[in-house]
C-alpha cells in the first residue's frame, strides 16, 4: 500500500534551510508519511522567472500511504504555511517549494500534477540530489514529446486520462505538411488548454477521385520536429484502415453551409471533412478544437456538425498566417512554380483592395467585388474560380442591401492548364480590422 | 481560502470513543486542518452490513485549507492508522469511520467522493449532531434523484463532471414508457458503473410518416418514479427543438446492418436511431451504454456506428425481459387488445420450439424455420411479417450449411387490418442457453 515518493525541495526567500527543514519535519508528522532520507542541500541559480535570489535545492525520499492528490495537497499547504502566496509570478521567488517528482512507478497526468515531473531531466539541481539518494535518473521513464500514437484506442485512452485529470484539452486536426499556420494554431491552443494534441491524417474521404490525395505532401519527420518545438503533448497519426475499418458506412451528412464555393467545386469534400472531424471528436473528446480561418467554409461546416451532434467542444477559428508578401500559408503552396509563387499574392492584394474600399465607405456588393476582380484580372497566371461575398459566421448568401459586415472569399487556380493545377484559397472580413 | 467542513465520526470496534478522539487529535495536527468543534457522541444501531456491534457516532466541524481530495486522503489514512482494513464488507464493522459530509458550499461528485454526503438526510445519527453544531440539515441542498435535465448543455456539463471524477458512466437511452425491461437495463448499468443516466426522447427521426410517433405512449411521471426506484442518477428529457435545432442536417448514414428486416419495413428508421444515439454519445461521453437485445438489429446498427465513429464506449446488450407467458416486454404492448394480448406469446413459443429442435440436433435452416412457422400459423391473430435466421453478432445473412449458432428473429403484426396495427418483435439465439 505504501509507495516510495521523491519530493523536490527548494527555497530562495527568508531562512532557506530552516524553512526546508521545518517543512520536512511537518511533512513527517502527517499521518501516512515518513521521511526516509534527505539529500544534501545545494545552492542553485534560479530557472526562469523574474530576477531573484539563488535557490537552495535538494530532494527528500518519503514512504507514503497517502494518495498522490492527498500528498500534493499537503505539500501545497506546507508551502502556504511557510508564507508562500498563491498567484505569484510563475517561477517567482518563494520561501518553500515542494514538488512531487516521483510517486512509486505511477504516471500521473492531470491539470494539477504531472509525475514523473516533466522538467526532471533538464534540471541538474534535481538530478544530482536524486543520484545522491541512489536513483539513476537515466533509468526513469522519459515521456516522448509529442507522444506519437497510431492506435485509435490508445489515443482515446490518453484523452480519457486527461479528462479524468480535469484538463482542458485542445485538438488541432491537420493533414500534416505542417507550416507556420499550424504552428500558430498550436500556440493558440497552448494558451487556452492544459494539453494539446495534434492529429495528422490525410483523409481520403475528403478528396475527390481527380484530386491530389496521392500527391498530397507527407513530411512526418519535419512535422514531428515542429510539434516538439511548439510543445504539443501528443500527435495522433492513424493508418487509414484504423480510421475507416472494413465496412465503414457512418458518413455524416452536411447541408447549407456546404453548398456553393468549395462545396460546388469539390463534391463530397465537406461530408468527408465533417465525418473525419466527428470521428476525431468522438475519440478524443477535447474541450476545444482549433481550425484556421483560411478554410472559412470548412469552419462553417464544422460548426454546424458540432452543434447538430451536440459535441460539447469549443471551436476556435484562428487568424490566417501569411508570408511577408501576403500569401496565405498552405501546405499546397509547395506545388507552385517560382513564377506562380511570385504571382500568388494577387489574391490577398485583391482582398485588401476590397477591404480598403469598404473602409473608405463603399457599401455596394457589386462595387466591392469589382474592386477585387480588377486586381485579379491584372494577373494572367491566376485563373479566378470564384469570388463571393458571404454573411459572416455561417457564410450564408448575403442579403441584398448595403454591405456592413461580410466575408469576401476567393479561390483561384494556378498552372490551370497543366497536369497539376494548384487551387489557392483566401478570405478576408470586410468591416473588421485586418486579420481579425 | 479556508473552508468549513463537517466530518461524520463513527466507530463500532475496540475503544470506540478513544479511537474517535485520537483520530480527531491526529486530524487537528495535519497542516491546514483545525478542529473547531465536536458534537456529543451517541450510540447508534448499525445501518446495513453484517450483524455487528452498535456504533458510536458524532460530527466534527473543521476549518481547512486542504483541498477536498487531500482532506479525504488524510481521513482515509487515519482510518487505516486506527486499524481499519481496506476491502472489508460494505457497511461492515470498523474501528474508525471518517466521512466528509460537507465541504463549504461545494458540491463534489466523483467516483470516490460525493459531497454533500448522499445519505445525510436519511441518517438521524448524522442529522442530530449536525443540528447540535448549529447546521440546519433542512437548509442543505438535497439533490433530486434522478436529476431531471432538459438542456443539452447542462446534460453535457453534468457528464463532464462525472468524467472529471473518474466515474464509469452508464447511459440508458430510451423513448420513455418505461417497463421492467428498462428497469433491467438500469440494474445492469448500476452493477457496471458509478453513475447511471437515462434519456427519454421520442425521436421523430426514427419514425416513418405513417408510424405511431404522435401516438407513442408518453408516461413521464411514472417513468420518473421507475428511474428513482432503480437509482438512476440523472435523466435527460430534451425537447425536440433542443435535439434538432433549426437547420439540423448531420444525419449519420447506416449500411449493411440496417438492410432487410426492420430496415426494409421502416425506411430511414435506423439512420434516425444511429443519429440520435450518436448525438447522445457525443453529449454525454459515457463509458458504457445499455440496450435491450429484443431490438437486436438496432444493437447491430449501433455497434457499427460506434465502431465507425470511434466512440470509446462499451455497448452492452442486455437480455430480453418477458412476461410470465413469454411475451417480450415492449412499450407497445399496451396497444394490444385483450384478445391480441392473449395471442401474442405465440412469438416466443415459436422461437422456443425452434430452439428446442436445434437443441435436439436439427441443423437445417429450412427445418428450423419451418418449426417456428408452424407455431405461428396456428395463431390467426398474428400476421407474420418476417422470420429470419441470421448470423450472431452482426446479424449478417447466414452462410449456407449447418446452423450451429444463429439468431432467429421474428416480427408479426396484430390487429393487422385495423387502423392501428401493432408490430411485435422478438428473437432468440439458437445454440446458446435460453435468454443468454
For residues A271 and A254, the answer to whether their CB atoms sit within 8 Å is: yes
Whether A228 shows a pLDDT value over 90: the answer reads: yes
Chain B: give the shortest CA distance to residue A23, in Å.
10
Whether A49 shows a pLDDT value over 60: the answer reads: yes
C-alpha cell at B353: 420450439
Q: What pLDDT was estimated at residue A53?
A: 92
- Collapsing DSSP to helix, strand or coil, B368 comes out as helix
B394 forms beta bridges with none
Whether the upstream peptide bond of residue A325 has omega within 30° of 0, thus cis, is: no
Query: pLDDT for A107-145, tens place per residue?
Result: 999 999 999 998 899 899 999 999 999 999 888 877 788
Q: What pLDDT was estimated at residue A393?
A: 87
CA B205 vs. chain centroid, Å, equals 24
A66 forms beta bridges with none
Q: Is A420 designated active site? A: no
Q: What pLDDT was estimated at residue B435?
A: 67
The complex scores an ipTM of 0.93
d(CA B373, CA B409): 12
For residues B81 and A31, the answer to whether their CB atoms sit within 8 Å is: yes
Query: pLDDT for A289-346, tens place per residue?
Result: 999 999 999 999 999 999 999 999 999 999 999 999 999 999 999 999 999 999 999 9
Q: In a mutagenesis test of the B interface, which of A309, A315, A394, A396 is the best target, namely the one with the most B β-carbons within 10 Å?
A: A309
Residue ranges matching CATH 3.40.50.620 in chain A: 147-318
Residue in A30, A166, A311 nearest the CB of B30: A30
Query: pLDDT for B187-243, tens place per residue?
Result: 999 999 999 999 999 999 999 998 889 989 999 999 999 999 999 999 999 999 999
Residues of chain B with pLDDT under 50: none
- Among positive and negative, which fits the CA dihedral A128, A132, A138, A141? negative
- CATH number listed for the domain at residues A3-139: 3.30.70.560
- Among positive and negative, which fits the CA dihedral B362, B366, B372, B373? negative
CB pairs under 8 A between A and B: 173
C-alpha cell at B73: 486522503
* Whether B282 and A65 lie within 8 Å, measured CB to CB: no
| Count of alpha carbons within 13 angstroms of residue B51, beta-carbon side | 0
Residue in A69, A152, A256 nearest the CB of B247: A256
Range name among A169-173, A214-218, B152-156 with the lowest pLDDT average: A214-218
Q: Closest chain B residue to A27 measured between Cα atoms?
A: B31
Which residues in chain A are closer than 8 Å to B251, comparing Cβ atoms? 252-253
> A279 touching B, CB under 8 A?
yes
Which residues in chain A are closer than 8 Å to B310, comparing Cβ atoms? 152, 156, 243, 279-280, 282-283
Residue ranges matching CATH 3.30.1300.10 in chain B: 331-430
Query: pLDDT for B395-426, tens place per residue?
Result: 999 999 999 999 999 999 999 888 889 999 99
d(CA B308, CA A277): 12
- Collapsing DSSP to helix, strand or coil, B239 comes out as coil
Which residues in chain B are closer than 8 Å to A311, comparing Cβ atoms? 282-283
| Count of alpha carbons within 13 angstroms of residue A214, beta-carbon side | 3
> A241 touching B, CB under 8 A?
no
For residues B190 and B170, the answer to whether their CB atoms sit within 8 Å is: yes
d(CA A15, CA A10): 12
Which residues in chain A are closer than 8 Å to B73, comparing Cβ atoms? 32, 66-67, 69-71, 73
For residues B319 and B398, the answer to whether their CB atoms sit within 8 Å is: no
B143 forms beta bridges with none
- For residue A181, what are the CA distances in angstroms to A132, A321, A336, B342? 46, 5, 18, 70
Query: Rounded to 5 degrees, what are φ and ψ at A64?
Result: -145, 140
For residues B346 and B426, the answer to whether their CB atoms sit within 8 Å is: no
**Nearest Cα residue to A4 out of A114, A100, A139:** A100
Rounded to an integer, the average pLDDT of A368-381 is 97
CATH fold of A147-318 reads: Rossmann fold (3.40.50)
Whether A435 shows a pLDDT value over 70: the answer reads: no
Which residues in chain A are closer than 8 Å to B26, comparing Cβ atoms? 31
Residue in A69, A245, A283 nearest the CB of B312: A283
* Whether B67 and A69 lie within 8 Å, measured CB to CB: yes
Query: Rounded to 5 degrees, what are φ and ψ at B379?
Result: -115, 100
d(CA A264, CA A304): 18
- CATH number listed for the domain at residues B331-430: 3.30.1300.10
> A166 touching B, CB under 8 A?
yes
Q: What pLDDT was estimated at residue A77?
A: 94
Residue ranges matching CATH 3.30.70.560 in chain B: 3-139
As to burial, measured by CB atoms within 10 angstroms (0-12 exposed, 13-18 middle, 19+ buried), residue A35 is: middle
> A65 touching B, CB under 8 A?
yes
Amino acid at each position: 500500500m505504501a509507495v516510495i515518493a521523491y519530493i523536490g525541495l527548494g527555497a530562495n526567500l527568508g531562512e532557506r534551510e530552516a524553512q526546508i527543514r521545518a517543512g520536512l519535519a511537518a511533512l513527517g508528522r502527517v499521518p501516512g508519511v515518513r521521511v526516509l532520507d534527505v539529500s544534501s542541500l545545494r545552492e542553485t541559480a534560479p530557472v526562469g522567472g523574474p530576477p531573484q535570489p539563488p535557490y537552495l535545492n535538494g530532494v527528500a525520499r518519503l514512504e507514503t500511504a497517502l494518495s498522490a492528490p492527498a500528498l500534493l495537497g499537503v505539500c501545497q499547504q506546507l508551502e502556504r504555511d511557510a508564507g508562500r502566496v498563491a498567484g505569484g509570478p510563475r517561477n517567482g521567488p518563494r520561501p518553500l517549494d515542494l514538488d512531487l517528482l516521483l510517486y512509486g512507478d505511477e504516471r500521473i497526468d492531470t491539470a494539477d500534477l504531472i509525475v514523473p515531473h516533466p522538467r526532471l531531466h533538464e534540471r541538474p539541481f534535481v538530478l544530482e540530489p536524486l543520484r545522491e539518494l541512489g536513483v539513476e535518473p537515466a533509468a526513469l521513464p522519459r515521456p516522448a514529446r509529442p507522444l506519437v500514437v497510431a492506435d485509435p484506442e490508445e489515443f482515446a485512452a490518453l484523452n480519457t486520462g486527461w479528462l479524468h485529470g480535469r484538463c482542458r484539452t485542445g485538438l488541432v486536426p491537420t493533414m500534416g505538411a505542417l507550416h507556420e499556420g499550424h504552428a500558430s494554431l498550436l500556440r493558440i491552443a497552448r494558451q487556452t488548454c492544459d494539453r494539446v494534441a495534434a492529429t495528422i491524417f490525410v483523409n481520403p474521404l475528403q478528396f475527390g477521385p481527380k484530386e491530389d490525395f496521392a500527391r498530397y505532401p507527407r513530411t512526418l519527420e519535419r512535422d514531428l520536429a515542429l510539434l516538439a518545438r511548439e510543445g504539443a503533448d501528443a500527435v495522433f497519426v492513424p493508418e487509414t484502415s484504423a480510421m475507416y475499418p472494413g465496412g465503414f458506412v457512418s458518413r455524416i451528412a452536411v447541408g447549407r453551409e456546404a453548398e456553393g464555393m468549395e462545396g460546388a467545386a469539390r463534391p463530397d469534400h465537406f461530408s468527408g471533412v465533417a465525418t473525419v472531424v466527428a470521428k476525431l471528436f468522438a475519440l478524443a473528446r477535447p474541450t476545444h478544437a482549433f481550425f484556421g480561418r483560411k478554410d472559412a467554409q470548412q469552419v462553417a461546416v464544422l460548426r454546424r456538425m458540432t452543434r447538430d451532434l451536440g459535441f460539447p467542444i469549443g471551436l476556435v477559428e484562428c487568424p490566417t498566417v501569411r508570408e511577408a508578401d501576403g500569401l496565405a500559408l498552405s501546405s499546397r503552396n509547395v506545388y507552385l512554380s517560382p513564377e506562380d509563387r511570385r504571382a500568388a499574392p494577387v489574391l490577398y492584394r485583391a482582398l485588401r483592395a476590397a477591404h480598403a474600399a469598404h473602409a473608405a465607405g463603399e457599401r455596394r456588393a457589386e462595387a466591392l467585388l469589382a474592386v477585387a476582380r480588377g486586381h485579379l484580372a491584372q494577373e494572367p497566371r491566376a485563373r479566378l474560380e470564384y469570388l463571393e461575398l458571404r454573411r459572416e459566421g455561417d457564410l450564408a448568401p448575403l442579403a441584398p442591401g448595403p454591405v456592413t459586415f461580410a466575408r469576401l472569399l476567393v479561390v483561384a487556380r494556378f498552372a490551370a492548364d497543366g497536369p497539376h493545377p494548384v487551387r489557392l484559397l483566401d478570405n478576408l472580413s470586410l468591416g473588421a480590422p485586418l486579420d481579425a
